[in-house]
Amino acid sequence: MKFNIQIFFLLTLTTHFMYAQKKMPVLKTIKSSINIKEGDFDYKDVWTILPEVKPDVFIPNQFIGTKTITFYSDIDSISFLVKPNKQYDFIVLLNSKDTAYVQINSKIKGKPSLEPKLVYTRLKNTNQTTDTMPFSLGKDDRIHLKGKVNNSDSLDFLFDTGAGSCVITSSLINQKVKLTIDGSQENGGSDGIAVVGKSSKNTIEINNLMWKDVSLLSIDYKNPSFDLVLGWVAFENKIIEMDYEKNILVIHQSLPKLIAEYTKLEFKLIEGIPYIKVKLIVNGIERESWFDFDTGSDGALTIGQKFAKEYSLNNVMKNMGSSKSVGSTGNVIMSKVVTLPKLKLGNYEMYQIPLSIQQQEVENVEYNENIGNKILKRFNTIIDFKNNFIYLKPNRLFYSPMY
C-alpha cells in the first residue's frame, strides 16, 4: 500500500514536471465555465474548469482540412487552427490562482465533446438565396409544419423557439416513426427537470430542407396537438422570418431590408433559450425583465412567484380566474390569471393582457417568465440568430381578441 502511494506521488510529480517544462499559452477567466466556438458554431458555458484533471481533453467533431477552435471566457480568449491527428495544450487560469490543463486532441476517435450543431441541406438545388416553408397557425395559436422523420409518413412539427432541442412524442416511436433510443439526457422544461430517452442520427425532412444526424429527445406528452418539436437550434446562425399573414417561414442568409415599422429588440440566450426584455406596467409603474420568447407556448404572458413577489404584483390586478398548465416533465403548475393593464414590447404597447402568475415556484427552474404565441402571433417577426436581435412588426392579428 505504501509502495503504491509512492508511485502515485511520483507520477503526479512527473505530470506536474512535464507540464512545467512546456511553455503553454494561458487563458484567463473569472467564471468557472468557458465558452467554445468550434468552427462556425458557438457553445455557451459548456466547458467546466477541472483543475484536478490533467489534462482535460476536448475532442472536436469530425472535420476535413482544418478547423478553428476558440475557447473564450468573460475576459479572455484563445484560438487554435486545428488539424487532424494533432493535439494542442493550453492552461486555463481561474481567478489568477487555480490552474487547469486543457488539451484539444484530434487524434482520439472517441465521442466528440460537444453535440454537433444542426445544419440543413436542400433536397433540390435552387438558385434562391432564401428557403421558404409554409406553416399553419393552429387552434392552439402555434406554428405547425408538415415534415417527415426517417422516411416516415407526413408528421406535424411544432416550431418552438422556446426549445433548445428537437423532440418526438414517445407514443410515435416504432408506430409512425422508426428509430432507436440509444441514450438519455437531462431535459429542462417550464415545469422542472427530468431525464428522458434520446435517439441519435435521425433524418428530418421539411419541405425542401433536410437535416441529418439529428438527436431526438423522447417525451411522453399527454394529448399533444403535434407529433414533434422542431427547436430553434435547427436554424442556428441563420435569420428566420415568421410571416403570420402569408403563413410562411423564410430562412435568410443575411438580414433582409427592414421597413420602418419594425422595432428592434436584443435577445440573449439563457440556458440555451432566447429571452427578450418585456415591460409590465401596473398603476403607472414599469417592471422590466427578461422573458422567454416562446412560439411553442399556447399562452399569453406568464411570471413566476419569485418575480411576482419581487415586483409586488400579487393581488394588485383584476382577477380573471385560475389555470393549470403541464410542461414536458408532466408536472401540473397552478396559476392565477389576472388582467395586466399595459405591456410594452420595444416601441409597441398592448393593453388588457391576460397574465398568469404561478402560485408556487417550480423546483429547479430559475427563469419562469414567458411570453407565448397568443401574443407573439400578432407580430411578423425576424429573428437574427447570428447577431442576437429580434425584429417585430404588428400584423393583421394585432387587434384580434386576446381572450
- Assess contact for 231 and 240: CB atoms under 8 A: no
Residues 282-287 have a mean pLDDT of 94
What pLDDT digit, counting tens, does each position of 363-373 carry?
A: 767 888 999 99
Tell me, what's the pLDDT at 361? 81
pLDDT higher than 80, residue 316? yes
Domain ranges, residue 43: 2-105
User: Residue 71 is inside which H or E element, if any?
Assistant: strand 67-72
For residue 229, the one-letter residue type is V
Tell me, what's the pLDDT at 61? 92
CA-based nearest residue to 27, from 69, 73, 82, 68: 73
Last residue in a domain, options 232, 252, 272 = 252
What pLDDT digit, counting tens, does each position of 9-29 carry?
A: 334 444 443 444 468 999 999
For residues 332 and 224, state if they share a domain.
Answer: no
Percent of the chain topping pLDDT 90: 74
pLDDT band at 5 (very low <50, low <70, confident <90, very high): very low
> Is residue 400 a part of any domain in this protein?
no
* CA distances (Å), origin 107, targets 23, 71, 84, 87: 22, 19, 7, 7
- Assess contact for 239 and 368: CB atoms under 8 A: no
Please indicate whether residue 19 or residue 194 has the higher confidence score (pLDDT). 194
pLDDT higher than 50, residue 226? yes
pLDDT higher than 70, residue 382? yes
Tell me, what's the pLDDT at 11? 41
* CA distances (Å), origin 306, targets 141, 210, 369, 380: 28, 42, 10, 31
pLDDT band at 78 (very low <50, low <70, confident <90, very high): very high
Overall domain count for the chain: 3
Residues 57-73 have a mean pLDDT of 95
Question: How far is Cα 318 from Cα 357, in angstroms, rounded to an integer?
Answer: 12
Question: How far is Cα 169 from Cα 38, in angstroms, rounded to an integer?
Answer: 31
pTM: 0.83
- Assess contact for 325 and 260: CB atoms under 8 A: no
Least reliable range by pLDDT among 56-70, 84-98, 183-197: 183-197
For residues 127 and 240, state if they share a domain.
Answer: yes
CA 270 and chain centroid, separation: 8
Residues 72-96 have a mean pLDDT of 96
Percent of the chain topping pLDDT 70: 92
Tell me, what's the pLDDT at 15? 45
pLDDT higher than 70, residue 332? yes
For residues 196 and 227, state if they share a domain.
Answer: yes
> Is residue 53 a part of any domain in this protein?
yes
For residues 299 and 213, state if they share a domain.
Answer: no
Phi, psi of 365 (to 5 degrees): -115, 110
Q: Tell me the pLDDT of the chain averaged across its residues.
A: 90
For residues 224 and 267, state if they share a domain.
Answer: no
